[in-house]
Amino acid sequence: MKSKEILLKIYLIIFRINYIISSLLGLAPCSIKIVNRSAQRIDLTLIFSYSRVGCAYNIVLIMLCVVIIVIGVPLLEEMQYPNDSKTLKTITITLSTMGNIGAIVIISTHAILQRRIIKIGNQLHEFDRKYGDKLIGRRANAFRDFRRMMPIIFLFFIWTGLLVTTGIAEEEVYILNSSVWASCFSWFLTQYSLVILVLRGRFEGINNALLATAKYPIGFEENSLFRGSVTNDRLIIKNLSIMKQARKEIHKITREVSRFYSFPVLIIISYCCCCSVNSMYYCVLTLIDPEVDVFTNIIIIDSIFWTLITLYPIVMLSTSVDAFHEEVCKTADIVYDIMETYAPNKDIESELNNFAIELLHRRVVFNACGMFSLDCTLLHSIFGMIVTYLLILLQFKPAGSDSKN
């Protein structure tokens, strides 16, 4: 009971942090209530509902982005840039404008598609209600779930470091122009990563239930599990059928999630890659400045934090997708292992064959509008892109701009 209480507290902490920050950034316009499912059990459920206040708040954020574009972006022309680079100035102003426009698109999309968010959330709630906490409980321990907090903690560290170094470097104009899109984009990718981890937990529960079925037939009655007779083939077939249905439902929810995030993640990752090139270019120009002092070192550290704020969430997302795919692929291995165990039983073998066919045709792919996959292969492409464009940009540095006026 204590372990479950610990897990529940961890989930609540992660959820509340995610929900509060997402709401402040316009990424969770709907209303979400946490209620007890049963007075006798330590069990909570989430209820999603439409919120007009959330929509109104998103409109305010959109207006803020418009004000930043109109008033804040022109101020970037007055900033000092390393080696007085006109190329860097043009890129910075362009990216700042595009970033705020992108933030407007993302925030407005969440407001317009609020009912779709509610639908996905309530589908997941219905899945948990239908199959109980037994499938969900057959997974991660408290320490492993605590590790889910570490990416969020590290992101907070990056945000804090960025604010401090930017303030010391006296680049308040830049942080003013970039605060909305930087926080919105980085948290959007973090939110997507956490959602994928939640879905992975459901697949993990199904996999562990399948493993348990191979050893001890498990009966599903009134959301409870109990061990049945090992020789009860009908019970095994029933369990396999129910778990096949559970996987079908969670697969459907996963596809809905993938489709919802597909277009926004395309915009954000493409933009973050451009920003990372710009930040590294800024850092390189500062490094080759002959007048290196403490202030210059602060600017270099600031550029590193800007690079982290754009790249780290992508790394987090890609590793989450890889972990998800790894868990999903385990299902096929488990099914074939069970098939070998019950090979003499034609009825069980037939049910497992049907399960295997569904696994073959019901694949889950997280991508950005089909243009690129979000797994770790994306990181290889981004690394190659950054190196290539950084080398190209360095060719535009005028020969006579190696010293400041």
Residue 44 lies in a domain: no
Tens digit of each residue's pLDDT (9 = 90 or more) over 88-143 = 788 888 999 999 999 999 999 999 999 999 999 999 888 888 876 556 555 545 44
Percent of the chain whose pLDDT exceeds 70: 81
Q: What are 192-234's pLDDT values in tens digits?
A: 999 998 899 889 888 888 888 766 554 455 444 444 444 567 7
Which carries the bigger pLDDT value, residue 317 or residue 394? Answer: 317
Q: Is residue 291 part of a domain?
A: yes
Establish if 345 belongs to a structural domain: yes
C-alpha–C-alpha distance, residues 259 and 120, integer Å: 11
Question: What is the rounded CA–CA span in Å between residue 366 and residue 256?
Answer: 11
What does the block give as tokens for 247?
């996987």
- Asked if residue 333 belongs to a domain, the reply is yes
Contact 45, 37 (CB under 8 A): yes
Which structural domain range is residue 295 located in? 53-136+144-217+231-396
Is pLDDT at 346 greater than 80 in this prediction? no
73 located within any domain: yes
For residue 72, pLDDT over 80 is answered with: yes
- Residues 40-62: tens digit of each pLDDT: 444 566 788 899 999 999 999 99
pLDDT at 42: 44
Pick 360 or 291 by higher pLDDT. Answer: 360
Tell me the residue ranges of DSSP E strands in 18-97.
31-36, 44-49
Asked if residue 225 belongs to a domain, the reply is no
Looking at the domain assignment, is residue 403 inside a domain? no
Asked whether the CA dihedral 138, 141, 147, 149 is positive or negative, the reply is positive
Q: Which two tokens stand for residue 302?
A: 């600031």
Cα distance between residue 349 and residue 367, in whole Å: 34
pLDDT digits (tens, 9 = 90+) for 6-39: 666 777 777 888 889 999 999 999 988 876 655 4
The reply to whether 404 falls in a domain is no
pTM for the structure as a whole = 0.86
User: Average pLDDT in the 258-267 region?
Assistant: 95
What radius of gyration, in Å, describes the C-alpha atoms of the chain? 25
Mean residue pLDDT across the chain: 82
Structural domain count of the chain:
1
Sign of the Cα pseudo-torsion (158, 304, 86, 390, in order): negative
